[in-house]
Amino acid sequence: MLSLLKCMDCGREYPINAVLYTCESCGGLLDVHHDLDALRGRVSRELFDGRLGTLDAPYSSGVWRYKELIYPDLDDAAIVSRNEGNTNLYPAPALAAWAGVRTLYLKHEGENPTGSFKDRGMTTGVTQARALGMTRVACASTGNTSASMAAYAAHAGMEGIVFFQDRQIALGKLSQAIAYGATCVQISADFDRNLALVREIAGALGIYVLNSVNPFRLEGQKAIIFETLQQLRWQAPDWIVCPGGNLGNSSAFGKALYELHQLGLIDRLPRLAIVQAEGANPLYRAYQGGFARFEPVHAETIATAIKIGNPVNYPKAVRALRWTDGVVTQVSDQAIMDAKALIDGQGIGCEPASACSLAGTRQLVEAGIIRPDATVVGILTGHILKDPDATIGYHRDALTGLRAAFPNRLHQAEPSVEAITAILQGSAARRPS
Ligand SMILES: *Cc1c(COP(=O)(O)O)cnc(C)c1O
Ligand SMILES: [Zn+2]
């Protein structure tokens, strides 16, 4: 066997098919641990490049293309996939100039089948559920996890069960989970409490938990990094910048970069920058104190996807930061929404949490941490259509406590040629030439 489950704290090992999310000895988080020495001779840039453009499953998927680095022993027939991944890496020169760096790419994970990067972790998580013979899967969710799990569970013929907060759920996400047929339960508690509930109830009822405490989720999310590096012809950028909520993605990025480097697929390690919302910043606080201690916070932010006060993957995120000489920063809701307006205005678009990548890049340049001549990859985690209320509220300048710096006002006109012509003459005059 090339892979097993391994506790990141005490090193205890478990077989790959153990139904466990944390260590039975010490409570530590588990990794899907691969035998990198055995894999070294089996993977190469050429192997993965040779699979580009194939129409054949599973390698047509932007996750399973890297199967040797994700779940090498798995029988292909067990895979539950929707050809996730294969997302665009957009050069964004205008946004690079605004942020103050020479080169900025945006990796658009909102282009996944259900509109967020969660699909990359869900193809591996639901595949493992199937390999274990599970028929029911569950998650607590700020939204995108539930949308993705609901879709993949339906695809696999399983029951998906979602524990939602009863307020501040982006409408696009709730509607997806309901439409895809999941059993949806609204609970008057925040995300952190719902995650505790889901873990307790799932354990008692034999339901498989697909929150990012599940290490198979993170294995799939590593493919965001694998694919980005492949799109960059395996030339490492200086920085990879991503939002941090439950810290599953940043943890996965750290593991992906570590493994690529260990296997010689990249020559140097990019630095990881994790960006939190000011109102949901427990990692940032711990970072400022040199990780001497960690304290959960009560989370409030317009970026609901990262409204998490007690991130379950905290220890793995700290490890990712150590592996990559990474940094953590925080940005205000104002900065998030203004950055989102600029990304949207390029015709690219994203949901609020994703805009942390751009807002954080600019801030880290201003702070002198990212150098102006750097090459930066910002991860856009979710699709613009996920949270239309936030977008419209911004352009109407109707968001409480915020002032839109880049609004695109909706014009109202009488049905007359004169009235409409006047508007269009005005808008032409306002366009930069
Ligand atoms: C889940 C999610 C995040 C946060 O990712 P973590 O792995 O929880 O840190 C950020 N943005 C979007 C759009 C998400 O769906
Ligand atoms: Zn342990």
- CATH, residue 108: 3.40.50.1100
- Output the CA–CA distances (angstroms, integers) from residue 8 to 26, 225, 255, 311, 316, in the order listed: 10, 21, 12, 16, 8
301 falls within a domain: yes
CB-based contacts of 57, cutoff 8 Å, min separation 6 = 64, 76, 79, 81, 83
Mutate to test the pocket of ligand 1, among 87, 107, 116 (most ligand atoms within 8 A of CB): 116
Same domain, 7 and 105: no
DSSP-assigned letters across all residues of 80-110: ---------EEE-HHHHHHHT-SEEEEEEGG
Looking at residue 230, what is its pLDDT? 98
Tell me, yes or no, if the pTM score tops 0.95: yes
Looking at residue 195, what is its pLDDT? 87
Ligand at shortest distance from the CA of 7: 2
Model confidence band, residue 429 (pLDDT cutoffs 50, 70, 90) = confident
Q: For 316-323, what is the mean pLDDT?
A: 98
Q: Is the pLDDT of residue 167 over 80?
A: no
250 falls within a domain: yes
Q: Which domain holds residue 270?
A: 89-115+217-395
For the chain, how many structural domains are there in total?
2
Same domain, 221 and 296: yes
Same domain, 23 and 94: no
Ligand 1, atom nearest to 251 Cα: 7
pLDDT tens, position by position, 337-396: 999 999 999 999 999 999 999 999 999 999 999 999 999 999 999 999 999 999 999 999
349 lines ligand 1 (CB under 6 A): no
CB 112 within 8 A of CB 84: yes
Ligand at shortest distance from the CA of 314: 1
Looking at residue 433, what is its pLDDT? 56
Q: Is the pLDDT of residue 187 over 70?
A: yes
Model confidence band, residue 432 (pLDDT cutoffs 50, 70, 90) = low
φ, ψ at 140 (rounded to 5°) = -95, 145
Mean per-residue pLDDT over the chain, rounded: 96
128 lines ligand 1 (CB under 6 A): no
70 falls within a domain: no
Q: For 58-77, what is the mean pLDDT?
A: 97
Largest CA distance in the chain: 76
140 lines ligand 1 (CB under 6 A): no
Return the percentage of the chain with pLDDT > 90, whole number. 92
pLDDT tens, position by position, 265-315: 999 999 999 999 999 999 999 999 999 999 999 999 999 999 999 999 999
Looking at residue 369, what is its pLDDT? 98
The helix (run of H) or strand (run of E) holding residue 243 is: strand 239-243
Same domain, 93 and 30: no
Model confidence band, residue 246 (pLDDT cutoffs 50, 70, 90) = very high
Residue 323 CA to ligand 2 centre (angstroms): 20
118 lines ligand 1 (CB under 6 A): yes
The helix (run of H) or strand (run of E) holding residue 378 is: strand 375-380
pLDDT tens, position by position, 131-147: 999 999 999 987 899 99
124 falls within a domain: no
Same domain, 351 and 263: yes
Mutate to test the pocket of ligand 1, among 191, 381, 386, 387 (most ligand atoms within 8 A of CB): 381
Ligand 1, atom nearest to 244 Cα: 9
Per-chain residues with Cβ under 5 A from ion ligand 2:
7, 9-10, 12, 23, 25-26, 28
CB-based contacts of 246, cutoff 8 Å, min separation 6 = 211, 212, 308, 311, 312, 313
168 falls within a domain: no
Q: Is the pLDDT of residue 169 over 90?
A: no
